[in-house]
Structure 1
Amino acid sequence: MYIEEAYYFWRMASDLMLNQDFDILHLSEERNEIWLEKNVKSKAYVVRITQQTFDWSNQLKRDQDTLIENLKRFKRQLVGREVEVHNVYISEFPPVDDWSDRKQPLHLNDRKKTTIYHHYITEQRTEHINDIYKQLGLTEPSFVVPSELEMEQTIYELKRSMKRRHKRNQQKMQQIFSFGKPRLTYLLIFINLAVFALLEYQGGSTNTLTLIQYGAKYNPAIMDGEWWRILSSMFLHIGFFHIALNMLALYYLGSPVERMYGSVRFAFIYFISGIIGGITSFALTPSVAAGASGAIYGLFGALLFFGVVHKKLFFQTMGPNLLWVIALNIAFSFSIPQVDIGAHLGGLVGGFLASSIVHFPKKQSLPMQTGAAIFVLVVGVGMSWYGITNEDNHYDPRLQAQVAQEYAKKGQYDKVIQLVDQTFRHIEGSADLYFFRAIGYYNQGEVEKGIDDLHEAISIKPSFGLAHYNLSIFYQQKQNSEKALEHARKAVQNNPEDERFQELLQSLEKSG
């Protein structure tokens, strides 16, 4: 009787969903087919129930082949390294020809170990269903077969209960993704763009001195007490490509994170990530750094925490793609020398820990939240201490020479001398730094000190043509023609194509 098969179909499906915590993967009332799944530890259990009769075994085979294809599609939504599938046919009659080979378990070899068991139920249905429950490790149900009239009413009630539960589950899922609105995300994008425009107007976002003046992470300044740079550097970007890439990432990552966590939690995650990323950069990287990358990697961390709390939903939605993007970004960070790996990894860890502290709305785990708060403090204080106690690592001679050059271009020669003096208290002499301090001394009227520094530069780098050239000029100032001519010749010898050097040498030779 068709009504009896329909009763067992809906009775089994509803019991698995309402009493055994299975979720609906797919439901088709037109085809009398339902897929349900449940995850236990690292194993996913899938039950596909269908109410149909097959006259011939080849029809059954085609359906089983279709099942395998559909399973491949559903596997993306399954969590776990192993999948166990129970394919249940509730039918009035078995195929008329031999179909014994269709009863055998099927093992699939792909990324997830998959075993498919086929069950064809035509009679003694309660006993067969009990056997399936045993294989699933579930408590055996007690299905009482009512009258035909009662069956129709029961089927109606079962359908309604399942649809109600499924709708409630869908609403819960939607609530997770719609707690807040991404207002702060848009505000942060606006602020970053406005600050970028200001930098471009004031001297260029790629100008090192402009970046430092407006609050970039500059370790020597932080060592002098300017810790506010850890925060201010989050709003500066170096070049159009940097701002474009980061704002695009902030839009696509910030929107879902703020929707899930709400604006207040989002702000905490964003800024804690940026601060931990900035401190890590300070501890590990001496170069000038700027950008929202640490905070943006923190949003990756927030989404990873979502995967820990809502594991199944994570892998059913963004999980696989997100993990691939994170892995790709980390590989990119390690492979490109200019990328601040400290800020990126520090931000990622900081974002995960910050998310653990605030947790999701209407969720609380005091031990975990307390532990995460302690861990954030340990990481922040620990990396700060490491950076402070290894202060010599913060003075990169190439960077300091670049900053000194920018000061010299602006005529701020006192700052050139001050910067070089400070740097030489932490590192050994650098030819470029001696050179720029010599320029500073010369322009402040201390020619003898300038000559001494240029000799230091040449002792480190004998082929330093520009140092020889300036020494020639300095000696001219001191009216030492012999030394001036000597260093003019050395300048030309090291840089014969430089017209300035040639002109100076010719002038000295004529006057000599």
Structure 2
Amino acid sequence: MSRTTRAGPEGQPAGRPKALWRRALLGPMPLSHPLIAACIAYYALGCVLSIAISDGSPQAVLTYLWSPSQFVLIDMGIGGSASFAQGEVWTLVTALFLHANLLHIGVNMLCLYMIMPMVEASFGRLRAFILYILAGMLGAAASVLWGETYSLGASGAIFGLFGGMLAYGALRGDAIGRRIMIDSAKWAALNFAFGLLAPVAVSNAAHFGGFIGGAAVALAMIYPVGILRRLEPRRLGFALASIALVCLAAGSGTAVSSTFQAVFDPAAYFAQRSDELIAHYSAVLAQNPGNGEARAMRGMAFAQKDDDEDAIADFNAAIIAGMDTPGLQNNLAWSLFKVGRNREALGHAESAVKSAPDTAAFLDTRAHIYEALGERAKAVADYEAALRQDPSIQESKDGLARLTGSD
């Protein structure tokens, strides 16, 4: 008795076993679903590994559920010039699946969920996936070329979808095309404006690079020329999916391996991580000595190693370059305090507290400096104020006990 096999999506026989990633590329679920799932899974892994290397306190758990550790993000493949300068080309892919915090991933996944169905309907499933990945990689590359120390997130790829739909609508030419073009331009403009005006750090280079890259990729798929005519969407789509899976697996493996080291030998782990960060930022600064962000981050890595003189030099250079934040002032004050330059340290500590008077860490730093200068009453007041903001700060408890004789 013969049996006829029904043809499935893209000509695949429905009866042929297919791996999950092949089903995700070929259907039947909307393309946005596997992409969102991959981003959420990668974010969740970052949170779990960050919690694993923390002290396990409720505050640490909440902190790392909101935003994974920078160390873990670097292992998982954060993008930007710091990674690329170290030869980590694979971060052009992994950066698309990493996000800085819950708000970041929430906004990006909502945008992806809203726009991808229209892109998929216009270009087809495989071409929509190709557009997303290539535009995202081009956005990540633009971030590197612009000199951004670190960049991450799916927004470059999402802007690529805006650019692709703008090109598609313009070339379609009818009333529907004009509507698509206007809507794409409107949403892209609103998101560009948010990126330019947002009070938080946003990779505008990745946004612009992804948008232009998306338009270029869309044009290349609509009007293929030269070698592009011989690139089959199926082969290119599966090649990109395979590359993405390999890169994500490499990032996950590196992060898991580092976490095991952190759990079983934390001293060696943090010493090694500090050296790696110094190498990262030194590579960036070799290309752009005026990069204030890289100066600040390398200064923190030096401080982690108790190399306070080098930390002070980098913190001062970062402030001169425009990175004059309360946190940086506090870090500079602490490093100056550790090398005995207390009067100089006090000025920076007061600047940090003035900008953020309710920050426990800043109050604790100033209290230590007051104590070293013999200003007991002011030190006690700052220790008490720090503990009111955060009762768990052991350094403030110890300082208060030293000065008052109480527990």
Per the normalisation by structure 2, the TM-score is 0.55
In 1, the alpha carbon distance for the partners of 2:161 and 2:310 equals 37
When residues 255 and 466 of structure 1 are mapped into structure 2, their CA distance, relative to the original with a 3 A threshold, is same
The match for 1:77 is: none
After TM superposition, list the pairs within 5 Å mapping 1:65-76 onto structure 2.
Answer: none
Say if 2:80 and 2:143, in contact at 8 Å, map to a contact too.
no
1:451 aligns with 2:312: no
The match for 1:348 is: 211
In 2, the alpha carbon distance for the partners of 1:421 and 1:307 equals 54
In 2, the alpha carbon distance for the partners of 1:278 and 1:308 equals 26
**What CA deviation, in whole Å up to 9, does each residue of 1:222-273 have, x standing for no partner?**
4444443332121012333332332232233333334443455434322222
In 2, the alpha carbon distance for the partners of 1:342 and 1:496 equals 44
In 2, the alpha carbon distance for the partners of 1:415 and 1:219 equals 26
The match for 1:414 is: 305
Structure 2 counterpart of 1:238, one-letter code: A
Q: Share of identical aligned residues, percent?
A: 25
Say if 2:38 and 2:97, in contact at 8 Å, map to a contact too.
yes
After TM superposition, list the pairs within 5 Å mapping 1:424-463 onto structure 2.
Answer: 427=318, 431-435=329-333, 437=335, 450-452=338-340, 457-458=345-346, 460-461=348-349
In 2, the alpha carbon distance for the partners of 1:469 and 1:505 equals 9
Please state how far the C-alpha of 1:391 moved relative to its aligned partner: 4.5
Q: Runs of 5+ in structure 1 lacking a partner?
A: 1-179, 370-385, 440-449, 474-483
The match for 1:200 is: 47
In 2, the alpha carbon distance for the partners of 1:356 and 1:268 equals 13
1:393 aligns with 2:284: no
1:257 aligns with 2:119: yes
The match for 2:251 is: none
After TM superposition, list the pairs within 5 Å mapping 1:169-180 onto structure 2.
Answer: none
Say if 1:485 and 1:509, in contact at 8 Å, map to a contact too.
no
1:272 aligns with 2:134: yes
**What CA deviation, in whole Å up to 9, does each residue of 1:100-140 have, x standing for no partner?**
xxxxxxxxxxxxxxxxxxxxxxxxxxxxxxxxxxxxxxxxx
When residues 458 and 284 of structure 1 are mapped into structure 2, their CA distance, relative to the original with a 3 A threshold, is farther
SS of 2:79's equivalent in the other structure is: coil
Please state how far the C-alpha of 1:306 moved relative to its aligned partner: 0.6
In 2, the alpha carbon distance for the partners of 1:195 and 1:416 equals 34
The match for 1:311 is: 173
Say if 2:349 and 2:365, in contact at 8 Å, map to a contact too.
no
When residues 417 and 503 of structure 1 are mapped into structure 2, their CA distance, relative to the original with a 3 A threshold, is closer
In 1, the alpha carbon distance for the partners of 2:316 and 2:402 equals 40
Please state how far the C-alpha of 1:348 moved relative to its aligned partner: 0.6
Q: How many pairs does the alignment contain?
A: 286
The match for 2:190 is: 328
Say if 2:383 and 2:400, in contact at 8 Å, map to a contact too.
no
Please state how far the C-alpha of 1:420 moved relative to its aligned partner: 3.6
SS of 1:395's equivalent in the other structure is: helix
**What CA deviation, in whole Å up to 9, does each residue of 1:324-360 have, x standing for no partner?**
3223222222232323322222211111112223x22
When residues 458 and 331 of structure 1 are mapped into structure 2, their CA distance, relative to the original with a 3 A threshold, is same
Say if 1:271 and 1:295, in contact at 8 Å, map to a contact too.
yes
Of 419-428 and 186-195, deviating more is: 419-428
- RCO higher in structure (CA 8 A, sep ≥6): 2
The match for 1:240 is: 102
Say if 1:286 and 1:396, in contact at 8 Å, map to a contact too.
no
Structure 2 counterpart of 1:192, one-letter code: C
Please state how far the C-alpha of 1:436 moved relative to its aligned partner: 5.4
Q: Runs of 5+ in structure 2 lacking a partner?
A: 1-25, 51-63, 230-283, 321-327, 353-362, 388-394
When residues 240 and 467 of structure 1 are mapped into structure 2, their CA distance, relative to the original with a 3 A threshold, is closer
Pick the structure with greater CA Rg.
1
In 2, the alpha carbon distance for the partners of 1:247 and 1:270 equals 13
Structure 2 counterpart of 1:346, one-letter code: G
Of 303-312 and 262-271, deviating more is: 262-271
In 1, the alpha carbon distance for the partners of 2:161 and 2:343 equals 52
Per the normalisation by structure 1, the TM-score is 0.45
Say if 1:451 and 1:471, in contact at 8 Å, map to a contact too.
no
In 1, the alpha carbon distance for the partners of 2:341 and 2:336 equals 5
State the superposition RMSD in angstroms: 4.5
